[in-house]
Amino acid sequence: MNRSIDKVPELCESQEDYCKKFIERIIKTNREVFILSCLLEKQMCGYDLIKDIFTKCDVFLSQGTVYPILYTLEEEGLLIAEYSRGDMRSKKYSLTPRGREVAERDIEEFANALEQTSSLIKR
Amino acid sequence: MLRNAVNGLENLLMNEIPAGSVILVNGAEGTLKSGLVFSMLSNHITVTGEHGLYISLEQTKWSHLQNMNSLRIKKVDGLHIFDYQDMRKEWIDRELDFSTMTEEVIDFYKNKYDNLKVFALDSLNALYSISDDAHLRKKMYHFFLSLREEGLTSFLIMESPHQGYQHNSLNGINQNVFSPTVPLSSAWLK
């Protein structure tokens, strides 16, 4: 198959798009791990989390998929929520000691799974 | 089983509510629509061990629970309550698509709890009033159909201005999407 040199940038771009789609799918199906990972760094509200993941990964997690995760993690005792001083508009979430353990374990397992999957499909 | 979830309801409903029905609970202010639906869901979940989701658009989870507590209606573990207060506060400058978000919230809880079978939205009026969308009618129609497709027995609470007023404020949505309508009046509640 002949490929013109003019087509190379186009090909690179489409490969980039393809890769981006895979990353987006991975993040969206593993939202909880990415949320926990962000919360390992600092306490955040739902708005901050969505913004942070968008800035880092260029993936928009919709509000309807993020807030239920925060509420159930709080109910399970993995997160605590508190209003910042002087700002009743946003409820900041941080990891409890057990939440930190779970976050670290889940992130490691997730990274291992990705690594293993990658080695399985690379020939 | 929902038919027997509240004393006296079996006199109003001739048959059991088929699973996957979308039911409009319509009534004037103060007719205890929320209390009736919450009580039905709680009692049903206690008997069946299923999970349920109650989305409150008007009140916070805690104020809703306080109201239910004052009516001596207990929340059971399998009944999950979700409210939009944090979202609305934090995204105050953005237009939010509440019907799509509600579908996403339902998806989340359905994936988390395999046996999530009952759902309530409190209220349709609030959903209309906070949604600022030119395609709202189309979206709502899609939303009602998606509830059926999810196989959830759904109760949509709607306040009407006075007794006897039927759901004319559904923005022209084909009412065939609903199964039965449960019109509440203070007379019935007595």
- On whether ipTM exceeds 0.90, the answer is no
Q: Count structural domains, chain B.
A: 1
Helix residue ranges, H only, A30-96: 31-41, 46-57, 63-75
- Digitized pLDDT (tens) for each residue of chain B, 190 residues in all: 677 777 777 777 777 888 888 989 988 888 889 999 999 999 999 999 999 999 999 899 999 999 999 999 989 999 999 999 999 999 988 888 898 999 999 999 999 999 999 999 998 988 888 876 677 778 888 888 888 888 899 999 998 876 555 544 555 555 555 555 555 544 444 3
Cβ neighbours of B108 in A, within 8 Å? 64-65, 68-69
A60 touches chain B (CB under 8 A): no
pLDDT value for B187 = 42
Residue A13 clears pLDDT 50, i.e. is over it: yes
B103 domain residue, yes or no: yes
Closest alpha carbon within chain B to A90 = B90
A28 touches chain B (CB under 8 A): no
Q: CB-based burial of residue B30 (10 Å sphere; 0-12 exposed, 13-18 middle, 19+ buried)?
A: exposed
Cβ neighbours of A91 in B, within 8 Å? 86
- On the question of a cis peptide bond just before residue B42, with omega within 30 degrees of 0, the verdict is no
Interface test with A, best of B55, B62, B82, B90 (most A CBs within 10 A): B90
pLDDT value for A87 = 75
Angle formed at CA B90 by CA B87 and CA B91, multiple of 5 degrees: 80
CATH C-level class of A8-121: mainly alpha
Chain B: give the shortest CA distance to residue A63, in Å: 7
Interface test with A, best of B104, B106, B119, B131 (most A CBs within 10 A): B104
Nearest to A46 among B90, B104, B105 (CB): B90
Instruction: In whole angstroms, give the CA distance from residue B173 to residue A112.
Output: 50
When comparing pLDDT for B86 and A89, which is higher?
B86
Residue A89 to residue B92, Cβ atoms within 8 A: yes
B100 domain residue, yes or no: yes
Instruction: In whole angstroms, give the CA distance from residue B67 to residue B87.
Output: 22
A40 and A103 Cβ atoms separated by less than 8 Å = yes
pLDDT value for A11 = 58
B14 domain residue, yes or no: no
SS3 string of chain B? CHHHCCCCHHHHCCCCCCCCCEEEEEECCCCCHHHHHHHHHHHHHHHHCCEEEEEECCCCHHHHHHHHHHCCCCCCCCEEEEECHHHHHHCCCCCCCHHHHHHHHHHHHHHHCCCEEEEEEECHHHHHHHCCCCCHHHHHHHHHHHHHHHCCEEEEEEECCCCCCCCCCCCCCCHHHCCCEEEECHHHHC
Cβ neighbours of B103 in A, within 8 Å? 64
Per-residue pLDDT tens for A100-116?
999 999 999 999 999 99
- CATH (domain of B99): 3.40.50.300
Chain B: give the shortest CA distance to residue A38, in Å: 18
Residue A91 to residue B86, Cβ atoms within 8 A: yes
